[in-house]
Amino acid sequence: MTNDLLGRHRAVLPDWLALYYEEPLEITHGEGRHVWDARGNRYLDFFGGILTTMTAHALPEVTKAVSEQAGRIIHSSTLYLNRPMVELAERIAQLSGIPDARVFFTTSGTEANDTALLLATAYRRSNTILAMRNSYHGRSFSAVGITGNSGWSPTSLSPLQTLYVHGGVRTRGPFASLSDDAYIAACVDDLKDLLGHTRAPAALIAEPVQGVGGFTAPPDGLYAAFREVLHERGILWIADEVQTGWGRTGEHFWGWQAHGRNGPPDIMTFAKGIGNGMSIGGVVARSEIMNCLDSNSISTFGGTQITMAAGLANLNYLLEHDLQGNARRVGGLLIERLRAVGAQVPAVREVRGRGLMIGIEITKPGTDQADPHTAAAVLEAAREGGLLIGKGGGHNTSSLRVAPPLSLNVAEAEEGAAILEDALRSIQ
């Protein structure tokens, strides 16, 4: 059955639509932190459909909200008043920390970032964008044009002029050997130098933790220091919270808050986890930025009633059960366990992250050279042991990504760590 489906997949879908594993999985159902494939195999899910099943598979509160809303009306577009959309927008505006915030809903993180770029360039009357090296912001024409990870940017053509800034990867690049304070100072000096050689950019877009890039991050405070430089010149700061939002990092509800010394970003994008699998993305911005467009616009599917009902139920569950606190506690235990294992495996260059957003970088032992073949072998071994994880990285996809649902308990964290330990030791 699975082999037949794979053949049909390859016959009608693009060659560039990536599949994990030598024998790709068909996942048929899930519950809690577990999923099952078409052959009946059960897996502990440490990737959540790319950080999207944020709370749990088949969460009863979300399932009930979707079912009840489907029985009333599924969709009407933004041309009509929509109570669930207004209610979720009110909650997100308040949680964002952005003053006088307005919220626009989309169907994905790609579309959210595309909208943020539209707003920033229109507001600033500039098509120059600052982006981070090793970054990823989606698959649309504008988003791949600002993506600093060449493995995910299939064309150099772009409607935007993109300039790339140092700082998103703490342990690589020309400033890696510096202390945190010196690192930030060097990156700020580089930014100032770059701005001295270009017309005024519209915005800097940055992921507080780079997702596809392998869960890399700068020292806390880097983007606050950048913001001082940007603010002096009127340049906007866009925080891409598609993977870092909703408490996943444990220490903060939003990733930007680790850099919040100078206040919130001007624009923030979100997606993935808020819908717990339903297609929700969005943009939050100060009203004068959100309202700067001087032509009409709508969204056919952004903010549709059924996805908004799911988002409201999911957000309520997240807050009522303090899943941010759980990510901090259980994630802290998990990362320390994985660091202890990594210290004994020569191919593990670094175990990094915070909360339930953990990266394991794989290199050829004793070097900084990426080893995507070995990373893929660990991915396969973990699957054979009953664990699903992801991969990424800016150096030929040599990092493993660990991002379970935020309701992960200690026993499941220990189980997953044991499987990962076996998988990592199997490559020696």
Q: Where does the pLDDT of residue 212 fall: very low under 50, low under 70, confident under 90, or very high at 90 and above?
A: very high
For 256-304, write each residue's pLDDT tens digit: 999 988 899 999 999 999 999 999 999 999 999 999 999 999 999 999 9
Is the same domain home to 199 and 298? yes
End-of-domain residue from the set 320, 355, 388: 320
Overall average pLDDT of the 42-50 stretch: 97
End-of-domain residue from the set 264, 296, 320: 320
Overall average pLDDT of the 382-399 stretch: 89
d(CA 70, CA 199) in angstroms, rounded, equals 50
Is the same domain home to 82 and 149? yes
Provide the domain limits for residue 121. Answer: 64-320
The total domain count for the chain is 2
Task: Select from 58, 136, 51 the least CA-distant residue to 403.
Answer: 51
In this prediction, residue 405 carries a pLDDT of 98
- pLDDT, mean over the chain: 95
Give me the residues paired with residue 59 across strands: none
Is the same domain home to 271 and 137? yes
Q: Where does the pLDDT of residue 395 fall: very low under 50, low under 70, confident under 90, or very high at 90 and above?
A: low
Contact (Cβ atoms closer than 8 angstroms) between residue 404 and residue 48: yes
In this predicted structure, the answer to whether residue 320 has a pLDDT above a threshold of 60 is yes
Is the same domain home to 308 and 259? yes
Task: Select from 318, 321, 361 the least CA-distant residue to 339.
Answer: 361
Q: Which CATH number does the domain housing residue 25 bear?
A: 3.90.1150.10
Is the same domain home to 148 and 38? no
Is the same domain home to 156 and 188? yes
Is the same domain home to 369 and 296? no
As to burial, measured by CB atoms within 10 angstroms (0-12 exposed, 13-18 middle, 19+ buried), residue 63 is middle
Q: Where does the pLDDT of residue 397 fall: very low under 50, low under 70, confident under 90, or very high at 90 and above?
A: low
For 66-106, write each residue's pLDDT tens digit: 999 999 999 999 999 999 999 999 999 999 999 999 999 99
Which residues lie closer than 8 Å to 413 by C-beta, 6 or more apart? 330, 333, 334, 337, 404
End-of-domain residue from the set 292, 320, 348: 320
Overall average pLDDT of the 13-38 stretch: 96
In this prediction, residue 179 carries a pLDDT of 98
d(CA 199, CA 188) in angstroms, rounded, equals 18
Is the same domain home to 380 and 271? no
Is the same domain home to 304 and 339? no
Q: Which CATH number does the domain housing residue 213 bear?
A: 3.40.640.10
In this prediction, residue 261 carries a pLDDT of 86
Is the same domain home to 109 and 11? no
* 3-state DSSP assignment of residue 361: strand
Is the same domain home to 283 and 364? no
For 342-371, write each residue's pLDDT tens digit: 999 999 999 999 999 999 999 999 999 999
Is the same domain home to 264 and 277? yes
